[in-house]
Amino acid sequence: MLDHVCVFTKGGSLLWALSFVALKGDPINTLIRACLLEDRAAQSSFEYIIPSGGTYALKWSLNNGLGLVFVAVYQKALKLLYVDELLERLNRAFSTRYSPGCFEYPEFDATFQRLLKDCEQKAEAARRPSAPQLAPHQPNAQQRRAPGASSGSGEESSEEGDSDGTAFAPVTTNGKPAGSSADQSSDDAEAEGGAGAAANGAEFVPDLHKLKKLGKRAGPGGKTTRQHADRAEETKKKAAAPAKKGKQARVWGNIGGAAKEDGPLDFTDGDASQATITTADLNQRSLIDVEEDVSYDDEGTDEDEAGAEAAAATKKGGLLSSFVRTLGVNVVGTQALTRSDIEPALATLKKKLMERNVAEEIADKVTESVATSVEGRKLASFTRVSTAVQQAVEEALTRILTPKRSIDILREVKEAQAKGRPYSIVFVGVNGVGKSTNLAKVAYWLLQNGIKVMIAACDTFRSGAVEQLKTHCGRLQVPLYERGYEKDPAKVAFEAAKAAQRAGIDVLLVDTAGRMQDNEPLMRALSNLINLNQPDLVLFVGEALVGNDAVDQLTKFNQRLADLCPDPSQRHLIDGIVLTKFDTIDDKVGAALSMVYTSGAPIMFVGCGQTYVDLKKLNVKSVVKSLLK
């Protein structure tokens, strides 16, 4: 049944493990790296594909107060219904025995065996009567009754098929639960619901989601006072923020003032018939090389916050309200945070993220993941819940945006150079996001670093695309490989790679036609191009203006690239992102988060203007700051 159960600390020390079957591969570490560290902990299970065949399902439970993680591994083919409950109970049982200095708990084996037997029997008992009926709701109710019998909570008595709705009611109407019992029962209900959904197939899932949402929406209702206070502070902060921010100075202006006429990409004023094309001045420094002198004073923000807080307090009506607020701070100061404590802070955070143009789905997932990592944590005294949550979100966002893969393209180019083959980069994306423009900017930056560049015009679709690249190539004095229109782009790219190899080129930049993510024939052509040429880097070009569509675009591009690949071992997904039109969005930098979270790929370049030099690297700290401002 179960293959492996283990308990470890977040610091990485294994505390207790029990193997029923020797594990194949390394599912635990994969879970940590691919899920828990990626802020995807909000999902309920993780699948690990065993290299030798088969799939493991992993479920986990976190104890944030003690920093413990409980993981159960089992064969995915076996649909074990009791794992969630088992983990919860394991969590509770182990937490009481845990002492920070101790790393061995041999006596826990017996306790676990008892828990396991208990859970198995209960699951067995719950399944047997409902098995012949196969009604979607029935086994769920049975499931719910089971834990109720053992824990003896009051509101577990409802036995109707759609009892889930009523079971949520006490939590939602009471506002703040009296103790941990009500909260725990809601947890149980969720966990059980999850198990039930897993067993019954997809039909139950939307129902559960609806319920969760309902619960969430109604949850904070009881504590309007605190929420109001939060919101007041929020607006206050927002008012204080713009004064702080200030626009970053455009550095290039004073470097190449004389070359200004060469700057804009606009050539309409020049005489078209004239044979000589003005060439771009390579002496200007691309902005990516210019170091920014942005200082991040973390202490400053704290003071600002305190100031804003004080101002808010005085404005709201003096001593009394501030006194009430202090009370709000202290009440939760000593005990572990419950879900309902953090709910209002999470709601404001989610709103804030969405105001910053983060896709709703992503904002949801990030806040959910933060919730799982904060719940149960103990606050230091005189810390406000919102501060703790804010800090957790900041950490999570920094983690998400920090590149997992090296973004040092120059080093990779040099490596390829040493091997004597051209390094190829393919630019993909939807229409009109600035693929060609940013390709030219990248070419300019590479040229400045003494790298020989060639551009391949594989947009054989849109009229004028080749001519546009011709102009860029003329200005940058870079060879262009083009075969006109109506050709198969995959073949053009292939021939271009050969030509680049012959000419001793270091980097081949491949421009492709813009395509909507739903356009099947064009996506097929793109997948063909990538599979045939196996480029070193596939860059997705996306504009920073995009909102909810960012998720859809990246998901579909990645999915099509994966699905349409004939050989799964050779499949090549999006390696990096070029974020364009970054200068047009002010502080609505949410698209960066949406794209990185969706694809897991880092942002390699940021296009921030109209000229060749306007290419930058993403500064994670400043983006996180703008997101939470």
Partner 1 sequence: MAEQVAEALGSATTMTMLVVLAATLLVFALLKVWLSGSKGNTVLLVGPCDAGKTTLLHQLCDGSTHLGSVASMVPTEADGQLASEKAGGATSARPVQLVDIPGHPRVRGQVERYAGRAAGVVFVVDSVDFMPRKTEAAEQLFEVLSAPALARRRVPLLLACNKQDMGSKAHTVDFIRKRLEKELDQMRSTRGALGDVGGGSGGGKAAQLGLPGEPFTFESHARSRGVRVTTATLSAVDKGGVAEVEAFIRKSVPA
Residues near partner 1, by CB under 8 A: 6, 8-17, 28-29, 32-33, 36-38, 67, 69, 103-104, 288-292, 294, 296, 398-408, 410-411, 414-415, 449, 602, 617-621
404: which residues sit within 8 A by CB, 6+ positions away?
A: 600, 602
39: left (phi over 0), alpha (psi -120 to 50) or beta: left
Give buried/exposed letters for 295-318 (b at 16+ CB in 10 A, else e). Answer: eeeeeebeebbeebbeebbeebee
Asked if 583 contacts 351 with a C-beta cutoff of 8 angstroms, the reply is no
Alpha carbon distance 369, 347 (integer Å):
13
Q: Smallest distance from the beta carbon of 242 to partner 1, in angstroms?
A: 22
Q: Output 191 or 400, the one with its CB closest to partner 1.
A: 400
Nearer to partner 1, 50 or 277 (CB): 50
Angle between the 590-599 and 620-628 helix axes, to the nearest 10 degrees?
Answer: 120
Q: How far is the CB of 10 from partner 1 (least distance, A)?
A: 5
**Sequence-ordered list of residues with C-beta below 8 angstroms from that of 106, at least 6 positions apart, any chain:** none
By beta-carbon proximity to partner 1, the closer residue of 31 and 585 is: 31
* Strand, coil or helix: 82: coil
Which residue number, 176 or 621, has a Cβ lying nearer to partner 1?
621
Instruction: Output 106 or 201, the one with its CB closest to partner 1.
Output: 106
Given a contact cutoff of 8 angstroms between Cβ atoms, the answer to whether 565 and 592 are in contact is: no
Helix (H, G, I), strand (E, B) or coil at 383: coil
CA distance 288 to 101: 48
CB atoms within 10 A of CB 75: 16
Q: Residues near 380 by Cβ (< 8 Å), separated by ≥ 6?
A: 333
Residue from 437, 436, 428 nearest 535 by CA: 428
- Residue 408 CB, shortest distance to partner 1, in Å, is 5
How many Cβ atoms from other residues are within 10 Å of residue 233's Cβ?
A: 21
Which residue in this structure is represented by tokens 């945006």? 401
Minimal distance, residue 283 CB to partner 1, in Å = 15
Nearest to partner 1 of 10, 588 (CB atom)? 10
Give the integer Cα–Cα distance in Å for 49 and 183: 35
Least gap, CB of 301 to partner 1 (angstroms): 13
Question: What is the token pair recorded at 294?
Answer: 């942005």
CA–CA distance, 433 with 72 (Å, rounded to integer): 45
Least separation in angstroms between residue 293's CB and partner 1 is 9
Minimum CB separation of residue 288 from partner 1 in Å reads 6
Collapsed DSSP state (helix, strand, coil) of residue 140:
helix
Considering beta carbons, is residue 211 or 379 the nearer one to partner 1? 379
Nearest approach, Cβ of residue 584 and partner 1 (Å): 22
Return d(Cα 517, Cα 7) in angstroms, integer. 43
Q: Which residue, 12 or 201, is less far from partner 1 as judged by CB?
A: 12
Comparing CB distances to partner 1, the nearer of 505 and 606 is 606
Quote the least distance from Cβ 523 to partner 1, whole Å. 30
CB of 292 to partner 1, least distance (A): 7
Task: Name which of 347 and 397 has its Cβ closer to partner 1.
Answer: 397
Closest approach of partner 1 to the CB of residue 225, in Å? 34
Nearest to residue 74, comparing CAs of 103, 131, 116, 15?
A: 116
Q: Which is nearer to partner 1, 329 or 407 (CB)?
A: 407
d(CA 360, CA 270): 45
List 424's β-bridge partners, or say none. Answer: 508
Q: How far is the CB of 349 from partner 1 (least distance, A)?
A: 20
DSSP readout, 31-58? HIIIIITTT-TTSS-EEEE-TTS-EEEE
Cβ of residue 404: shortest distance to partner 1, in angstroms? Answer: 5
Asked whether 315 and 240 are in contact (CB, 8 A), the reply is: no
Q: Which residue has the tokens 């194949």?
A: 24
Cβ closer to partner 1: 48 or 481? 48
Instruction: Give the residue with the Cβ less far from partner 1, 371 or 525.
Output: 371
Nearer to partner 1, 269 or 291 (CB): 291
Pick between residue 99 and residue 274 the one whose CB is nearest to partner 1. 99
Exposure string for 133-144, b = 16+ CB within 10 A, e = fewer: eeebbbbbbbbb
Residue 2 or 620 having the CB closest to partner 1: 620
User: What does the DSSP assignment read for 558-622?
Assistant: HHHHHHT-SSGGG-----EEEEE-GGGSTT-THHHHHHHHHH---EEEEE-SSSTT-EE---HHH
Cβ–Cβ < 8 Å for 347, 305? no
